[in-house]
């Protein structure tokens, strides 16, 4: 699925470990979307982990993703998210929520818009802000009803 010029998402094998991964791959020497977040240290309250620590096995790296669910691998222009599995009150925090992914998208588009400003980027950013606000309203509503963090309507 093409997201912007020079940026696409697809299933492939990582050049470092040969594991199949959904990765964002460079297409030539174009300005890459993930360059806009190369200095980002946290998103949505989660620390961003950059690359698997050398010497750490993939199974050990995967275990730490409960605590650090956002991974950016700069050399292959890839960002991945471990999504929360089950309600937080029942399972604890073990991944990020959709609003974290939306926040990451907003950071990327803001960076692209700084370099390549256009009305469409501004519209996209407004829609992402609206989505984040709607999710905050949903959370407030669920908290008021006493059902936030549990599997109940």
Mark the ranges of the chain whose per-residue pLDDT is less than 70.
1-32
Q: What DSSP string runs through 39-106? A: T--EETTEEEEESPPTT--HHHHHHGGGT--EEEEGGGTEEEEPBP-S-HHHH---SB-HHHHHHHHH
CA atoms within 13 A on the CB side of 2: 4
Q: What is the pLDDT of residue 147?
A: 92
Q: What is the pLDDT of residue 15?
A: 46
Q: What is the pLDDT of residue 31?
A: 57
């Amino acid at each position: 699925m093409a997201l912007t010029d020079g940026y696409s998402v697809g299933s492939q094998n990582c050049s470092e470990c040969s594991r199949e991964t959904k990765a964002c791959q460079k297409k030539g020497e174009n300005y890459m979307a993930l360059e806009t977040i190369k200095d980002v240290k946290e998103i949505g309250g989660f620390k961003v982990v950059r690359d698997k620590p050398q010497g750490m096995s993939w199974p050990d790296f995967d275990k730490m993703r409960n605590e650090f669910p956002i991974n950016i691998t700069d050399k292959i222009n890839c960002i991945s998210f471990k999504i929360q599995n089950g309600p937080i009150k029942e399972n604890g925090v073990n991944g990020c929520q959709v609003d974290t992914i939306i926040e990451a998208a907003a950071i990327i588009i803001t960076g692209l818009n700084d370099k390549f400003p256009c009305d469409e980027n501004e519209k996209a950013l407004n829609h992402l802000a609206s989505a984040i606000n709607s999710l905050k309203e949903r959370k407030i509503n669920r908290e008021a009803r006493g059902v936030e963090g549990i599997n109940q309507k």
